[in-house]
Structure 1
Amino acid sequence: MMFRAILYVQWKWLRWPLLAVTLAVAAIPLVAARSDFTGGTMLVPLLNRLESAGILYPIAAIIVGWVVAAGLWYPDRQGRRVYAMAMPVPRWQFVLLRYQAGLVLVLVPALALLLATILVAVTVQLPPGLHAYPGSVSLRFALASVVAYSMIFAMAAADSTVVAGVVAALVILMLVAPGVAEIAGARDPAETLLSLLFSPPGPFAIFAGRWMLFDV
């Protein structure tokens, strides 16, 4: 009952921004396919556009995560967390329920993307050897959105001093580490960190690589 109440409140706060990003996400494959739903000689330009549009999927996933996570905590920050303190549950339980409610909302754009990619997949005539992967693209988008949402949610829920300290440490690492590494003749630690984060099995590896709706 408490979860349903929190989910309803979060939906009321976020329904219009969430609707906007959902429509934008669903439009990515539809706009890329646009009038080339006939296959044949137009297939190559279609594949090129879909490959180019693949760059937008990880960006859109980050935007979805940011819209939901930041939107969940924005009213609390405006009201100095009065709403959170008024809840008849411990703060940790309230944060967990709010996180779970956000997960439900994050999946809305992913579901819209699944429907849009299925529409493109069943409409375009593919030659032998080429297959559509609407489920894979949509699942990857959902997971990327959850990763982005979880990271931003944790930062939004934390104390602003902690967040500022983390950001400052990262900025210092990016600015100072290359010069220190060059003087010491060692590998740039910032480059190593990025490689660990964005290369498998790093937590952000899901954002890297190709996002292809049609492939062999």
Structure 2
Amino acid sequence: MLKAMIRLQWRAVWHIVAALTVAGLLLPLASVRTGWKGGLTNLPNFLTELQLWGLLYPALAALAGVALAAGIWSSDRRGHHIYALTLPIPRWRYVLLRYLAGLTLALPIVAAVWLGSVIASETLDLPAGLRIFPHALAAKFALALIVLFGFAFAIAASSSRALGIGVRFLALLVAVHLGVVMLYPKTNILWSLVTGLATWPGPFAALGGRWMLIDV
């Protein structure tokens, strides 16, 4: 059943997977080739540029997670989930199969980031004191992709009513935030919320930290 689901989802999102796989392969290569000039005097600028390039890794993970989740559930949403209701399997198993199929289709993207990182780090003649982290970077990317895909998957699988409730809740949160800011300008509810979610033990802590392929 899982193989059939993977084949079904592959036909729906193969172009997305292919494009993101190419992007994942080229990102590490581009990040080191554009800044490294082979001299010690260039090292601080190179590390600074590499840190800026690192911001694209969580962005790519977010793009991949959202695109895969939206593509996987697009046919069900167009058909108002009628196809899922006609299958002789429980709803929870159907959702689980779709989730596992999505994770399977994300593997080429993670593998491309890892391969690109290995190639990029091995082709540079780096001075002593610098270390390469291709495996750690790929693992961090994989973790971020799993978290973001799971979040986007849950949203994409939700009913229109649930999405409407979520939108109204966000609108209420923004309204409360604006009211608090007007009364207490130094209080920032949204920033505190984002910080709490993106730092340990928040669910999106994998997006934080340094995304460095090469570092001291």
TM-score w.r.t. the length of structure 2 is 0.90
Structure 2 residue identity aligned to 1:208 = G
Q: What does 1:4-83 align with in structure 2 at a 5 Å threshold?
A: 4-34=3-33, 39-40=38-39, 43-83=43-83
Q: Which residue of 2 aligns with 1:145?
A: 145
Distance in 2 separating the partners of 1:181 and 1:31 = 42
- Report the CA distance between 1:30 and its aligned residue: 1.3
- Report the CA distance between 1:137 and its aligned residue: 0.7
Secondary structure, counterpart of 2:156 in structure 1 = helix
Distance in 2 separating the partners of 1:21 and 1:139 = 17
Structure 2 residue identity aligned to 1:108 = P
- Report the CA distance between 1:76 and its aligned residue: 1.1
Q: What does 1:109-120 align with in structure 2 at a 5 Å threshold?
A: 109-120=109-120
Q: What does 1:176-215 align with in structure 2 at a 5 Å threshold?
A: 176-180=176-180, 183=183, 187-215=187-215
Structure 2 residue identity aligned to 1:197 = L
Distance in 1 separating the partners of 2:203 and 2:52 = 24
Structure 2 residue identity aligned to 1:146 = I
Structure 2 residue identity aligned to 1:3 = L
Deviations 1:130-157 (A, max 9, x none): 1100011111111111111000110111
Q: Percent identity?
A: 38
Structure 2 residue identity aligned to 1:67 = A
Distance in 1 separating the partners of 2:66 and 2:185 = 38
Q: Which residue of 2 aligns with 1:90?
A: 90
- Report the CA distance between 1:101 and its aligned residue: 0.9
* Contact 2:38-2:126 within 8 A present in 1 as well: yes
- Report the CA distance between 1:62 and its aligned residue: 0.4
TM-score w.r.t. the length of structure 1 is 0.90
Distance in 1 separating the partners of 2:185 and 2:11 = 55
Structure 1 residue identity aligned to 2:9 = Q
Q: What does 1:133-172 align with in structure 2 at a 5 Å threshold?
A: 133-172=133-172
RMSD between aligned residues: 2.1
Note the residue ranges of structure 2 that are not aligned, 5 or more in a row. none
* Contact 2:76-2:83 within 8 A present in 1 as well: yes
Q: What does 1:113-128 align with in structure 2 at a 5 Å threshold?
A: 113-128=113-128
Secondary structure, counterpart of 1:210 in structure 2 = coil
- After TM superposition, the structure 1 stretch with the greater mean CA deviation from structure 2, 189-198 or 110-119, is 189-198
- Report the CA distance between 1:171 and its aligned residue: 2.7
Note the residue ranges of structure 1 that are not aligned, 5 or more in a row. none
* Contact 1:37-1:125 within 8 A present in 2 as well: no
Deviations 1:64-90 (A, max 9, x none): 001111100001112222322232211
* Contact 1:178-1:190 within 8 A present in 2 as well: no
Secondary structure, counterpart of 2:125 in structure 1 = coil
Structure 2 residue identity aligned to 1:183 = L
- Report how many residues are paired: 215
Secondary structure, counterpart of 2:212 in structure 1 = coil
Secondary structure, counterpart of 2:129 in structure 1 = coil
